[in-house]
Amino acid sequence: MQLPTVDDCHRCELSEKNNPISGKGPIYSSLLIIDEHPGYDENLLKEGFTGLTSEYLRKLLREVRIDEELVYFTYLVKCKCSKASAVNIKACNNWLLEEIECVSPKVIVTLGQKVFSAYNFRHFYSFLDGN
């Protein structure tokens, strides 16, 4: 199975002014980290998890001895925005579900309340179990 790329996404208005950012990391990772949306640096560089906040996350991963090269990183909303709206989340939903299916992580870490509450995680559990 191949990971989806969002480079040519036009599912919502955010892609008109921003660069959609695909997730990055190994296709079969045990750990998947989901952040709310890319920031200024990621949008400018057209690459995910490259800004100051992401550097802090990498530092935390090193402190707990998790090799970042073994982690798959992605976003709830694939374009830079000030606050992810329900419309943006819905537009990006299929991208995220495809990533989860491809990566098949053992653990999903959500960064922030918005990402955590965006989904009914019972849906994720049944999705991952194949039910």
Higher pLDDT, residue 33 or 126: 33
The answer for residues whose C-beta is within 8 angstroms of residue 39's C-beta and 6 or more apart is: 51, 53, 80
pLDDT given at position 26: 92
Predicted TM-score of the model (pTM)? 0.84
User: Which of 41-45, 54-58, 66-70, 115-119 is least confident?
Assistant: 115-119
Domain boundaries, the chain: 13-123
Q: State residue 126's pLDDT score.
A: 46
Residues 121 and 68: their CA atoms lie apart, in Å, by 24
13-123 maps to CATH 3.90.79.10: no
Structure letter (DSSP) for residue 77: S
Are the CB atoms for 21 and 48 separated by under 8 Å?
Answer: yes
Q: Return the pLDDT at 60.
A: 95
